[in-house]
């Protein structure tokens, strides 16, 4: 019985951390886990993957069938933006790629160019005015990378976060901090195929 206790506690921490993320009381997995552990007065921390699975379960329970409808719409919206930015080699990543997006999720798309202003200009030329952007320094492996983020609100009210990365990074394999696998994402052709065959397909490791 004792050998099962740590797993039971970890499950409780994972569930509490997932609630904190879903209700937007926390934005990052690390902080959500630490706060959950403190609230439960324990020192064990679950894996990010365990928290993600709990978050997915909570979203399913609270949002019901509407969640799948929103997922399909978000992927269609992603495709429209990716086609618009086709020559910047767009790739759908994040929860909309994974198929785990919920009501508070945005659409994460990576594009690759040395000139972020060209991306902004393309968006403005196609009626997506008022886009905001800022620089971020992110940790990648043992180093850091400076990337430009562009925030777009679509007519559907879905939010898009575009991450503009150098073309040199296009073929680099990044590891996911949540699931631990390689972030493959979906290009335009792959996303079209998903929308035709299974619009709510999930891409998560078992």
What CATH number should be reported for the domain holding residue 115?
3.30.460
* 78 and 59 inside one domain: no
The per-residue DSSP string of 20-53 comes to: HHHTTS-SSHHHHHHHHHHHHT------HHHHHH
Q: Are 67 and 32 in contact (CB under 8 A)?
A: no
CA dist 69 and 199 (Å) reads 9
Per-position b or e across 44-82, b if 16+ CB within 10 A of its CB: ebbebbbbbbbbbebbeeebeeebeebbeebbebbbebb
* 41 and 103 inside one domain: no
* 24 and 95 inside one domain: no
Q: Per residue in 44-97, pLDDT tens?
A: 999 999 999 999 999 999 999 999 999 999 999 999 999 999 999 999 999 999
* 187 and 100 inside one domain: yes
* 55 and 86 inside one domain: no
Confirm whether 143 is domain-assigned: yes
What's the pLDDT score for residue 109? 98
Confirm whether 127 is domain-assigned: yes
Q: How many domains does the chain have?
A: 2
Q: Is the per-residue pLDDT at 178 higher than 90?
A: yes
Confirm whether 110 is domain-assigned: yes
Confirm whether 26 is domain-assigned: yes
What's the pLDDT score for residue 187? 98
* 96 and 188 inside one domain: yes
Domain boundary, last residue among 32, 63, 94: 63
What's the pLDDT score for residue 7? 73
What's the pLDDT score for residue 1? 35
* 177 and 123 inside one domain: yes
Beta bridge partners of 162: 109, 150
Closest CA to 126 of 105, 159, 152, 149: 152
Confirm whether 186 is domain-assigned: yes
Confirm whether 204 is domain-assigned: no
Confirm whether 206 is domain-assigned: no
Q: Is the per-residue pLDDT at 29 higher than 80?
A: yes
Residue 201: band (very low, low, confident or very high) from pLDDT cuts 50, 70, 90: very high
* 27 and 82 inside one domain: no
Residue 3: band (very low, low, confident or very high) from pLDDT cuts 50, 70, 90: very low
* 89 and 39 inside one domain: no
Q: Is the per-residue pLDDT at 42 higher than 60?
A: yes
- Give me the percent of the chain exceeding a pLDDT of 90: 87
Q: Is the per-residue pLDDT at 20 higher than 60?
A: yes
Beta bridge partners of 144: 139
What's the pLDDT score for residue 120? 95
Q: Per residue in 131-171, pLDDT tens?
A: 999 999 887 766 788 899 999 999 999 999 999 999 999 99
Provide the residue range defining the domain that includes 126.
74-197
What's the pLDDT score for residue 40? 94
Tell me how long the chain is. 206
Residue 206: band (very low, low, confident or very high) from pLDDT cuts 50, 70, 90: confident
* 90 and 176 inside one domain: yes
CA dist 161 and 109 (Å) reads 6
């Amino acid at each position: 019985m004792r050998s099962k206790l740590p797993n039971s506690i970890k499950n409780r921490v994972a569930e509490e951390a997932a609630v904190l993320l879903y209700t937007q009381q926390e934005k990052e997995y690390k902080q959500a886990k630490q706060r959950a552990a403190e609230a439960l007065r324990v020192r064990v921390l679950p894996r990010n993957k365990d928290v993600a699975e709990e978050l997915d379960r909570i979203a399913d329970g609270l949002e019901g069938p509407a969640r799948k409808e929103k997922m399909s719409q978000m992927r269609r919206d992603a495709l429209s933006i990716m086609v618009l930015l086709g020559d910047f080699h767009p790739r759908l990543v994040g929860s909309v790629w994974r198929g785990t997006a919920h009501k508070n999720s945005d659409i994460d798309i990576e594009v690759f160019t040395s000139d972020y202003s060209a991306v902004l200009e393309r968006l403005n030329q196609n009626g997506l005015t008022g886009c905001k952007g800022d620089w971020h320094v992110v940790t990648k492996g043992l180093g850091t990378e400076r990337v430009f983020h562009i925030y777009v609100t679509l007519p559907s009210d879905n939010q898009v976060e575009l991450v503009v990365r150098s073309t040199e990074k296009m073929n680099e394999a990044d590891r996911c901090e949540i699931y631990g696998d390689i972030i493959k994402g979906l290009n335009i052709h792959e996303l079209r195929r998903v929308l035709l065959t299974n619009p709510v397909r999930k891409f998560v490791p078992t």
